[in-house]
Structure 1
């Protein structure tokens, strides 16, 4: 089985137009984690169990039950960001976009913009902002999430960056001309 580094090298070979520093997996850092050390370990375990129950309920389509589990998790540890992320997703699925954004902002604030919860909240808020036509704010959230390690956010930030899009188009044209000189001479 190929390692992450091997897959990244193959990606670079099969997608040579990707800048070397942007090859996914080549310089990946350790998986992002939240710092739960400030909380009572028993309460963290209880909250994680409630969140798992909430996720399970949401996956089975029982969104009201999921919301109830996330509300319980928040009531047990209101200073822990993860349950706010999960509740935001549930609220979004229930059509409460405003409530979802409020929860995401709370998660970002509680996490101090660091860790897995911050990264997920920034990506989710970026998506909601993008869907509502606030591309510049979405790009900023995606850039922050990308800095925390989200490859998806990095891709979204590039898509929303007009200068990057222009540069990518110009680079693609140059590479195409270099690969197929006879085609460019005919044009």
Structure 2
């Protein structure tokens, strides 16, 4: 049976773009959920139904209707993070980046930075920050989302870490030399 260290070494060999010791799934939280027990069950059902309608509207291309459904859900349960996260995505699709960032801030705040919605909101905000060339802020969000279990966020955090990128390039070159010695020859340092 392989140890965690063995898996980390194998992960580094076969996926040199991940930092050493970063084994996908090793510390991943399984079944990441939001804690909705604090909400009235009837209101929660109403809000979830509105969110389902909002997602369906967005998927069919009716973004104004989606925005309205998510806003209605927020009016019913303004303390629940999920509708803010969904509305943020809709706002982003409508070109309202500032509104999207405001909703993401609210989603992260209401979730306490934990749970499924927090993970999604952190990834979404990280992407928006990256588009705004705020790479350090984006990296922080991706690292937080990675700690909650997002493999996508973990990969994005590595891409934004200049030291990890340098180490990974060097390790990748060494691995490629070992795999293909005839291509690199002995004269290539």
Q: Deviations over 1:102-129 (max 9, x none)?
A: 0000000000100011111100000000
Q: Please, which runs of 5 or more residues in structure 2 have no aligned partner?
A: 1-6
Distance in 1, Cα, partners of 2:12 & 2:94: 43
Distance in 1, Cα, partners of 2:175 & 2:89: 41
Q: Deviations over 1:37-81 (max 9, x none)?
A: 110111111111100000000000001100110011000100000
- Shift in Å, 1:13: 11
SS at match of 1:122: helix
* Contact 2:28-2:148 within 8 A present in 1 as well: no
Tell me if 1:38 matches 2:38: yes
Q: TM-score, normalised by structure 2?
A: 0.87
Q: Please, which runs of 5 or more residues in structure 1 have no aligned partner?
A: 1-7
- Shift in Å, 1:29: 3.1
Tell me if 1:90 matches 2:83: no
Structure 2 equivalent of residue 29 of structure 1: 29
Structure 2 equivalent of residue 72 of structure 1: 72
Structure 2 equivalent of residue 5 of structure 1: none
Distance in 2, Cα, partners of 1:129 & 1:30: 27
Distance in 2, Cα, partners of 1:115 & 1:27: 15
Tell me if 1:102 matches 2:102: yes
Distance in 1, Cα, partners of 2:23 & 2:88: 31
- Shift in Å, 1:184: 3.2
Aligned residues: 178
Distance in 2, Cα, partners of 1:19 & 1:126: 19
Structure 2 equivalent of residue 170 of structure 1: 170
Distance in 1, Cα, partners of 2:146 & 2:12: 23
Distance in 1, Cα, partners of 2:86 & 2:53: 11
Distance in 1, Cα, partners of 2:64 & 2:90: 8
**Once superposed, what is the RMSD of the aligned Cα atoms?**
2.1
Structure 2 equivalent of residue 55 of structure 1: 55
